[in-house]
Amino acid sequence: MDITKDKLLEKLEFFSNFKFNKNYNDLTKEEKFVAITDSIMALTSKDWTDQLGKKARQRKAYYFSAEFLIGRSLGNNLLNLGIYDLVNSILEEKGDRIKDIENEEEDAALGNGGLGRLAACFLESAASQGFNLDGYGIRYSEGLFKQFFKDGFQAEEGDDWSSFYNPWSKRIVSDEKIIKFKNQTVKACPYDMPIFGYKNGQINRLRLWQAEAVNEFDFNRFNNFDYDGAVREKNEAEDLTRVLYPNDERREGKLLRIKQQYFFVSASLQDIVSNYKKNFDDKEFKHFHEYVSIQLNDTHPVIGIPELIRILLDEEKISFEDSFNIARKIFNFTNHTILREAMEVWSVDLIDETSPRVLEIIQMIEQRLVEELYNKGFKEEEINFLRIVKDDSIHMANLAIFVSNKVNGVAELHTNILKNETLKDWYGAYPYKFTNKTNGVTQRRWLIYSNMELSDFIDRKLGSNEWREDFSKIKELEKFAEDEPSIREFLEIRKKKKIELTEIIKETTGIDVDPNSIFDVQVKRLHEYKRQLLNALHIVYLYHRLKEDKNFISEKRTFIFGAKAAPAYFRAKAVIKFINEIARVINNDKDIDGKIKVVFLENFRVSLGEKIYPACDFSEQISTAGKEASGTGNMKFMMNGAITIGTYDGANVEIFEKAGEENNIRFGKTVEELMEIKPNYDPYKIYQEDIYIKNALDSLMSGEFKDNESYMFLDIYNSLLKSEGGDRADRYFVLEDFESYRKAQEKISEVYKDEMRFGKMCLLNIANSAYFSSDRTIREYAEEIWKLESHN
């Protein structure tokens, strides 16, 4: 791709005139964003088209995911195309700042947390590594939700991210598919987004499906004054792709979710099959597996397994035996959690209402499973445990494991737990299926783009920018970990990023924070096992001690939170309210002289993360050991030099291994230790005997922090001290790990006081972060599971 200054200027003026009837200089910032993006798309479209044709007869992998949390695209795309500086200079000549234009882009509301961000990193890494990997997902019109706080409570509103115009998406009407549910038929219309590789010319594709009505408007109904009825079919179709993870507390929500999943996998599989038929004369699909590999990202797309068999069996007239064997060769399954409640289970009647034929095929697969296990010598009770259809329900993880060619966990500890505990019986039956693929994140988004100052520093120190393409070279930064001038230069960059974040905090919350204070950050999805509550209770402890002794804290502390709670997750929303109450009380208490500040940033998202990760001093990765499959925020923090304070959980284990425990702060019980104490665990005894815990916990009930009579704080209090509904008290060992966490937090102050020690620890974390690049992860997938060759 030859994108020159003259070509860009020509396209900018063309699209300014064509789209808005204005010259470029007369455009609003939002219009300038559109003109720039349209120019980039126009200048790259022929290459993209040529590559689509070239790849049509090459082996390709497809990533099926309910989420692709891609964030904003402009800056990252310019970076990967190698024209970021060129566009910046053009805009500066016109009196603009590129960052202002980038801020006009809405984050694409196509995901929620780590699972979706991982999918986005994988697509970008695959393109940058030269692998043919396309993504398939859903084009949500309202996303998850936009979060805001009202009196400290989380409130939600729709995230209409594409309402103005999304220049990165191409609507390809000619590739529409028809999706037939039991009682509804809809169209799936594809929107294609380019995924640019880093300076290698490769363009992969993310294809997102939008649901539309077959007949959008019933004129006769309208003419007979049934105005709602005239557009009912349109609204019911569009509901399928309106919201990510619709509330499923009631049956209607569950049905919408499973239909949503079936909608996108059916459209995607129809697309793959149609393209194969177009390019190959193979009516029996004997070579299909030689050109197609599909990765199922968690259980959401698993209904694609019986759907592919349905397509081959019913539409292509392939026998069940052959269709089943084809499916076994091309599907692979990533498990993202050991939490059983997150391994989807759907009632038989919901699958039947979605697609009766798919239910029949699941039952046929179930019969095959039972036969295989009998032949392996399994007993009846062992087989019953592994059944796909049991208790009038469909167990999607069992379906995925049985049919998939490979099953992977996403961190060494997580995979070992799958093999030895959660999926022990499956591992016993099919050990050759199981493999580990520790997650990674793309350094181009999370270091090179998000922290350009640090990236330039690394260029200077290493004497080249080769590390940007071969991230293993970042290891060479180790030699500067003892060099005082380098450490001081690094700390100045960190200070700059902290100042930038303080300006965002002031602008969005009105809170003044000191950039010289310790930035202690926990940003991630709000869930009990991630233990934002442990962090909050410790802040209450610090506050109470500081009230007693004004010299108790020597280093100022700023605690920064960002997290969304699922709309129906009462206790998670209670924790948000609790943290916001802590912030209200502490931030307004003049007696503590600003030694503690607490900030909860609204609507945590990719573009906000790009500002937070480079400014963090200490990264809170404090989930209960054994509960976090991997985590990816921990990797983004590490790449930017933050020190991890964390449990021996998820990818923390490998972070401690690669960068050294001496350069991070570990605390808390291990998985093995928790298993040992679990049968006799008594949190109430800890509460009675530890005055610090008691004081912090009692604040929930004392009126010091107010929950507006919502009973939220009572719910938190009871969850820690009382067994409820079959769940033991303190399911996630918050009180058990509190004392260890308290001591670890003391170490934070000790480390931060010594600038050279702190800077050294930070640099050694960056230098040892190469393992956590998604480039490494994607190479392992491509070589060991998908069997792809790089085209670099």
Average pLDDT estimate for 474-492: 97
Tokens 């003892």: give the residue.
Answer: 482
Beta strands in 549-692 (DSSP E): 557-562, 596-601, 618-621, 643-646, 665-666
Confidence of residue 724 (pLDDT cuts 50, 70, 90): confident
Q: What is the pLDDT of residue 2?
A: 86
Based on the fold, state whether residues 433 and 494 are members of the same structural domain: no
Residue 727 reports pLDDT greater than 90:
no
Q: What is the pLDDT of residue 218?
A: 85
Q: Is the dihedral of CA 521, 522, 524, 526 positive or negative?
A: negative
Determine, yes or no, domain membership for 785. no
Average pLDDT estimate for 54-79: 97
Residue 791 among the catalytic residues = no
Residue 530 among the catalytic residues = yes
Q: How far, in Å, CA of 687 to CA of 669, rounded?
A: 18
Q: Is 296 helix (H, G, I), strand (E, B) or coil?
A: strand
Tokens 């409570």: give the residue.
Answer: 153
Which of the residues 524, 527, 597, 658 is marked catalytic? 524
CB 350 within 8 A of CB 312: no
Angle, alpha carbons 604-606-611 (nearest 5°): 85
Confidence of residue 113 (pLDDT cuts 50, 70, 90): confident
Average pLDDT estimate for 564-572: 96
Which of the residues 636, 669, 760, 779 is marked catalytic? 636
Average pLDDT estimate for 526-539: 97
Determine, yes or no, domain membership for 305. yes
Residue 525 among the catalytic residues = yes
Based on the fold, state whether residues 487 and 418 are members of the same structural domain: no
Q: What is the pLDDT of residue 702?
A: 96
Average pLDDT estimate for 485-511: 98
Q: How far, in Å, CA of 316 to CA of 285, rounded?
A: 9
CB 608 within 8 A of CB 633: no
Q: Which residues contact residue 205 at a Cβ distance below 8 angstroms, ignoring those fewer than 6 apart?
A: 48, 52, 134, 135, 192, 193, 194, 195
Residue 340 among the catalytic residues = no
Average pLDDT estimate for 426-437: 97
What are residue 64's DSSP bridge partners?
Answer: 136, 296
Determine, yes or no, domain membership for 632. yes
- Say which CATH number the domain at 621 has: 3.40.50.2000
Average pLDDT estimate for 332-348: 88
Residue 524 among the catalytic residues = yes
Residue 541 reports pLDDT greater than 90:
yes
Residue 441 reports pLDDT greater than 90:
yes
Which of the residues 44, 632, 647, 777 is marked catalytic? 632
672, burial (CB in 10 Å: exposed 0-12, middle 13-18, buried 19+): exposed
Based on the fold, state whether residues 548 and 617 are members of the same structural domain: yes
Q: What is the dihedral of CA 127, 130, 135, 141, to 10 degrees?
A: 10
* Tens-place pLDDT, residues 755-785: 999 999 999 999 999 999 999 999 999 999 9
Q: Is the dihedral of CA 142, 147, 150, 153 positive or negative?
A: positive
CB 69 within 8 A of CB 119: yes
Q: What is the pLDDT of residue 338?
A: 78
Q: What is the pLDDT of residue 164?
A: 78
Based on the fold, state whether residues 515 and 395 are members of the same structural domain: no
Q: How many domains does the chain have?
A: 3
Residue 753 among the catalytic residues = no
Determine, yes or no, domain membership for 77. no
Q: Which residues contact residue 114 at a Cβ distance below 8 angstroms, ignoring those fewer than 6 apart?
A: 336, 439, 524, 525, 630, 631, 632, 633
Least confident among 200-214, 395-409, 548-562, 632-646: 548-562
Q: How far, in Å, CA of 753 to CA of 557, rounded?
A: 12
Long-range contacts of 175-183 (CB under 8 A, 24+ apart): 175/271, 177/209, 177/266, 177/267, 177/270, 177/271, 178/214, 179/211, 179/262, 179/263, 179/266, 179/267, 180/355, 181/259, 181/262, 181/353, 181/354, 181/355, 182/352, 182/353, 182/354, 182/355, 182/356, 183/353
* Tens-place pLDDT, residues 259-311: 999 999 999 999 999 999 999 999 999 999 999 999 999 999 999 999 999 99
Based on the fold, state whether residues 150 and 297 are members of the same structural domain: yes
Tokens 């600003």: give the residue.
Answer: 594
Range of the structural domain that residue 262 is part of: 57-71+107-439
Q: Is the dihedral of CA 232, 236, 237, 242 positive or negative?
A: positive
Overall size of the chain counted in residues: 792
Based on the fold, state whether residues 28 and 98 are members of the same structural domain: yes
Based on the fold, state whether residues 435 and 482 are members of the same structural domain: no
* Tens-place pLDDT, residues 372-424: 999 999 999 999 999 999 999 999 999 999 999 999 999 999 999 999 999 99
Average pLDDT estimate for 174-193: 98
> Above pLDDT 70, what percent of the chain?
100
Based on the fold, state whether residues 662 and 729 are members of the same structural domain: yes
Angle, alpha carbons 556-559-563 (nearest 5°): 170
Based on the fold, state whether residues 292 and 346 are members of the same structural domain: yes
Q: Is 366 helix (H, G, I), strand (E, B) or coil?
A: helix
Tokens 């234009």: give the residue.
Answer: 101
Q: How far, in Å, CA of 197 to CA of 131, rounded?
A: 10
> Above pLDDT 90, what percent of the chain?
95
Based on the fold, state whether residues 519 and 462 are members of the same structural domain: yes
Q: What is the pLDDT of residue 402?
A: 98
What are the strands of the beta sheet with 596-601, ordered from one edge?
A: 596-601, 557-562, 518-523, 618-621, 643-646, 665-666
Q: Which residues contact residue 551 at a Cβ distance below 8 angstroms, ignoring those fewer than 6 apart?
A: none
Q: What is the pLDDT of residue 341?
A: 67
Tokens 């998604």: give the residue.
Answer: 774
Q: What is the pLDDT of residue 641?
A: 98
Based on the fold, state whether residues 99 and 111 are members of the same structural domain: no
Determine, yes or no, domain membership for 25. yes
173, burial (CB in 10 Å: exposed 0-12, middle 13-18, buried 19+): exposed
Average pLDDT estimate for 570-591: 97
What are residue 643's DSSP bridge partners?
Answer: 618
Determine, yes or no, domain membership for 231. yes
Cα–Cα separations (whole angstroms), residue 445 to 117, 121, 424, 612, 702: 11, 8, 37, 13, 45
CB 634 within 8 A of CB 646: yes
Residue 730 reports pLDDT greater than 70:
yes
Distance of CA 611 to the CA centre of its chain: 17
Residue 507 reports pLDDT greater than 70:
yes
Which residue from 494, 748, 732 is spatially nearest to 620, judged by alpha carbons? 748
Q: What is the pLDDT of residue 342?
A: 67
How high is the mean pLDDT of the chain? 96
Which of the residues 11, 146, 207, 336 is marked catalytic? 336
CB crowding 734-748: b at 16 or more within 10 Å, else e: bbbbbeebbebbeeb
Q: How far, in Å, CA of 530 to CA of 604, rounded?
A: 16
Which residue from 66, 92, 48, 144 is spatially nearest to 525, judged by alpha carbons? 144
Beta strands in 229-343 (DSSP E): 292-297, 331-334
* Tens-place pLDDT, residues 351-378: 999 999 999 999 999 999 999 999 999 9
Based on the fold, state whether residues 88 and 193 are members of the same structural domain: no
Q: What is the dihedral of CA 396, 116, 632, 193, to 10 degrees?
A: 140
Which of the residues 406, 530, 557, 627 is marked catalytic? 530
Token pair belonging to 706: 């107010």
Determine, yes or no, domain membership for 777. no
Residue that is last in its domain, among 408, 439, 470: 439
Token pair belonging to 568: 């129906």
Q: How far, in Å, CA of 620 to CA of 535, rounded?
A: 8
Q: What is the pLDDT of residue 410?
A: 96
Angle, alpha carbons 33-34-37 (nearest 5°): 85
Least confident among 194-208, 444-458, 609-623, 716-730: 716-730
The DSSP bridge pattern shows strands 331-334 and 203-213 to be unpaired
Q: How far, in Å, CA of 295 to CA of 304, rounded?
A: 11
Count CB atoms within 10 A of the CB of residue 620. Answer: 28
Determine, yes or no, domain membership for 113. yes
Beta strands in 119-169 (DSSP E): 133-138, 146-150, 153-157
